[in-house]
Amino acid sequence: MPMSDRVLVTGGAGFIGSNVADRLLHAGHSVVVFDNFDPYYDPAQKRRNVGRALESPSYRLIEGDVRDRASLASAFESAAPDVVVHLAARAGVRASVEDPLSYLEVNELGGLFVLEESRIRGGLPIVYASTSSVYGGGSVPPFREDDPATTPLSPYAASKRSAELMVHAYHHLHRIPVAVARFFTVYGPRGRPDMAMYSFTRDILAGRPIRLHGETTERDFTYVDDIVDGVLGAMDWVKRTRGHDTFNLGRSEPVRVRRLIELLSRELGVEAKVVMGELGASEVVRTAANVEKAHSAFGYRPRVSLEEGVRRWVEWSRTSPAA
Ligand code: NAD
């Protein structure tokens, strides 16, 4: 890897994207973020995410929408990236049931436009964000990348799987180097307000009961720094090999959601109230990552235990105006 890359990060004002951008800056790279400050959750939180980075001379923010080909093309033109980290998306499983069209447009069409920009520029390497949600009803945990993943349970999962298939076609036809990274339930500083870690924290602090969707539900909670490590590892891999492959990025230590509530409650020093609800039809009972492939390709090794991660999360949420 050269001393310094120019990296275009789509969705770089969001939770994972802003953590990726900060780490890239810290490692001496220059970063251009492309983000439309989508109102899926409060855009003010995203403004705060980018606040510090904007002070760096190696950082630039371009506001634009991946569905708008012209604005995406001009961002690629002016960023002239060596590599792209494509994170811009509509995320959130349950919300996709209500608004499938946005998921199709942003995740599939927007994703196609990113591939097109890479093709036009001779095959810019891409790290392409996908999700553990592609392992749907028919997949048996711990999930491996060679699972056919043909049974998505939500429009979100279907849109991401479909985007992965388009990536395959583009690599096959145009030799575009792409590392597809399937993230598993990411949490940590700047976390998304619609995700469990965030909403449980708010409920516990407000003395509101937490609705637990299924007593046996398990998630492979993964601390955001471990995801950022994986994204940077995948970036090196895709530049080095100019290949195409798919990698799970997760902690590989699924825990019951019930256990997460206990840890959060202990760390916050407030007792949690829980009411039982049903697991929604769009959600799987258990997620668990097999990460051997990412380990052998680029040495991926998640480091942050759930106990440590919850401690760091609570510390951050105490100082964050949004939490
Ligand atoms: P996020 O919503 O915080 O970040 C997504 C960013 O993309 C936001 O800043 C948003 O403004 C931007 N965006 C949305 N629509 C856009 C558009 N049309 N044009 C340009 N920018 C747009 O979510 P996140 O959790 O940081 O997720 C980042 C990526 O990781 C997504 O691709 C998501 O599907 C994937 N992912 C996340 C998780 C998780 O647990 N957080 C798990 C699996 C996969």
**What is the sign, positive or negative, of the torsion defined by CA atoms of 248, 249, 251, 254?**
negative
User: Residue range 297-304: average pLDDT?
Assistant: 98
The pLDDT tens digits for 109-148 are: 999 999 999 999 999 999 999 999 999 989 999 999 999 9
User: Residue range 44-73: average pLDDT?
Assistant: 98
**Quick one: which atom of ligand 1 is closest to the CA of 86?**
32
What CA–CA distance (Å, rounded) separates 59 from 11? 14
Q: How would residue 322 be classed by pLDDT, with cut points 50, 70 and 90?
A: low
What is residue 244's predicted lDDT score, i.e. its pLDDT?
98
Question: Are 157 and 131 within 8 A, CB to CB?
Answer: yes
User: Residue range 240-249: average pLDDT?
Assistant: 98
The pLDDT tens digits for 15-26 are: 999 999 999 999
The rounded percent of the chain whose pLDDT value lies above 90 is: 96
Determine the distance separating the centroid of ligand 1 and the alpha carbon of 16, expressed in angstroms. 7
Q: What is the DSSP letter of 143?
A: B
Determine the distance separating the centroid of ligand 1 and the alpha carbon of 273, expressed in angstroms. 30
The pLDDT tens digits for 191-228 are: 999 999 999 999 999 999 999 998 899 999 999 999 99
What residues contact residue 310 under an 8 Å CB cut-off, 6+ apart?
Answer: 197, 260, 263, 264, 267
Give the active site residues. Answer: 156
DSSP-derived 3-state class of residue 263: helix
Strand pairing category for 210-213 and 244-249: unpaired
Determine the distance separating the centroid of ligand 1 and the alpha carbon of 234, expressed in angstroms. 18
Q: Going by CA atoms, what residue is nearest to atom 28 of ligand 1?
A: 87
**What is the sign, positive or negative, of the torsion defined by CA atoms of 86, 92, 93, 96?**
negative
DSSP-derived 3-state class of residue 72: helix
What is residue 265's predicted lDDT score, i.e. its pLDDT?
97
Give the amino acid at 181: A
What residues contact residue 205 under an 8 Å CB cut-off, 6+ apart?
Answer: 268, 270
What CA–CA distance (Å, rounded) separates 29 from 119? 23
Verdict on whether the full-model pTM lies above 0.85:
yes
Average pLDDT, the chain: 96
**Quick one: which atom of ligand 1 is closest to the CA of 38?**
11
User: Residue range 294-303: average pLDDT?
Assistant: 98
What is residue 1's predicted lDDT score, i.e. its pLDDT?
45
User: Residue range 73-86: average pLDDT?
Assistant: 98
The pLDDT tens digits for 245-283 are: 999 999 999 999 999 999 999 999 999 999 999 899 999
**Quick one: which atom of ligand 1 is closest to the CA of 129?**
32
- Residue closest to 190 by CA, chosen among 61, 6, 1, 12: 12
Q: Going by CA atoms, what residue is nearest to atom 39 of ligand 1?
A: 186
Determine the distance separating the centroid of ligand 1 and the alpha carbon of 145, expressed in angstroms. 21
Element (H, E) at 310: helix 306-319
What is residue 237's predicted lDDT score, i.e. its pLDDT?
98
Determine the distance separating the centroid of ligand 1 and the alpha carbon of 53, expressed in angstroms. 18
The pLDDT tens digits for 156-177 are: 999 999 999 999 999 999 999 9
- Partners of 213 in the beta sheet? 277
**Quick one: which atom of ligand 1 is closest to the CA of 35?**
21
The rounded percent of the chain whose pLDDT value lies above 70 is: 98
Please give all residues whose beta carbon lies within 6 A of any atom in ligand 1, as ranges: 11, 13-17, 35-38, 40, 46, 65-67, 87-91, 106, 110, 129, 131, 183, 185-186, 192
- Residue closest to 81 by CA, chosen among 40, 24, 131: 24
What is residue 320's predicted lDDT score, i.e. its pLDDT?
84
Ligand 1 mutation target, pool 67, 87, 105, 109, most atoms within 8 A of CB: 87
Give the amino acid at 190: R
Q: How would residue 314 be classed by pLDDT, with cut points 50, 70 and 90?
A: very high
